[in-house]
């Protein structure tokens, strides 16, 4: 079974959901599948109105990928200050984070590319302050980052036991168009 078939099977089973633009007239140019955990934060219910606003902004950030917006991407771990998406350390593991910065507190979405233009978002974490029972990731080399990457890897293996994530030697292998390196 191809990885695309596996993603579709997981969507059909409800274990993954596809991010679709809220605007029905928007074109889908890339695919993002999200875990049940991420779908819960997108759908609510939220504990308060500030988390609801945060969730809608996160949704807009994820829709930027799906809509094919031009993305600032960093392939250099620890150097993605202005990037929408960055490769995490170690690069050969293929972990990526999407940075949803505004409004504060910032959130990070961790996941892997299944193939070109198909990102599987597996978990979310707050960047600098706790959110509910989730501790912040902290500094780039903080233990919480390592724990999050380990959890991301375990989630991938549960969902895709017979597939490895793409690491890509070149950015075009992961995002075919409308991106630039920072």
- Which tens digit of pLDDT belongs to each residue from 78-129? 887 889 999 999 999 999 999 999 887 799 999 999 999 999 999 999 998 8
Q: pLDDT higher for 2 or 23?
A: 2
Q: What is the mean pLDDT of residues 58-67?
A: 97
Residue 143's contacts (CB-CB under 8 Å, 6 or more residues apart) are none
- Residue numbers of the domain that contains 11: 3-181
Number of domains in the chain: 1
Mean pLDDT of the chain: 93
Question: How much is the pLDDT for 130?
Answer: 85
Question: How much is the pLDDT for 61?
Answer: 97
User: What does the pLDDT look like over 127-139, one tens digit per residue?
Assistant: 988 887 888 898 8
pLDDT classification of 73: cutoffs 50, 70, 90: very high
Measured CA to CA, the distance from residue 68 to residue 175 in angstroms comes to 10
Q: In percent, how much of the chain has pLDDT > 90?
A: 75
Q: What is the mean pLDDT of residues 26-48?
A: 95
Q: In percent, how much of the chain has pLDDT > 70?
A: 99
Yes or no: say if 7 and 119 are a contact pair by the CB < 8 Å rule. no
Backbone angles phi, psi at 172, to 5 degrees: -65, -20
Measured CA angle at 99 (ends 96, 105), to 5 deg: 135
Q: Which of 59, 108, 105, 118 is nearest to 84 (CA)?
A: 108
What letter would DSSP give residue 104? S
In the predicted model, is pLDDT for residue 168 greater than 90? no
In the predicted model, is pLDDT for residue 179 greater than 90? yes
Residue 57's contacts (CB-CB under 8 Å, 6 or more residues apart) are 100, 102, 103
Question: How much is the pLDDT for 78?
Answer: 87
């Amino acid at each position: 079974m191809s990885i695309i078939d596996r993603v579709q099977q997981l969507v059909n089973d409800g274990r993954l959901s596809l991010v679709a633009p809220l605007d029905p007239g928007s074109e889908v140019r890339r695919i993002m599948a999200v875990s049940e955990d991420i779908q819960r934060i997108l759908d609510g219910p939220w504990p308060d109105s500030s988390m609801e606003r945060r969730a809608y902004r996160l949704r807009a950030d994820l829709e930027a990928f799906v809509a094919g917006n031009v993305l600032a991407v960093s392939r250099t771990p620890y150097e993605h200050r202005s990037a929408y998406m960055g490769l995490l350390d170690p690069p050969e593991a293929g972990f990526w984070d999407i940075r949803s910065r505004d409004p504060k507190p910032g959130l990070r979405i961790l996941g892997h590319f299944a193939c070109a233009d198909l990102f599987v978002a597996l978990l979310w974490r707050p960047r600098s302050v706790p959110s509910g029972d989730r501790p912040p990731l902290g500094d780039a080399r903080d233990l919480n980052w390592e724990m999050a990457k380990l959890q991301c890897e375990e989630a991938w293996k549960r969902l895709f036991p017979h597939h490895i994530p793409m690491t890509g030697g070149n950015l075009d292998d992961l995002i075919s168009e409308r991106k630039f390196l920072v």
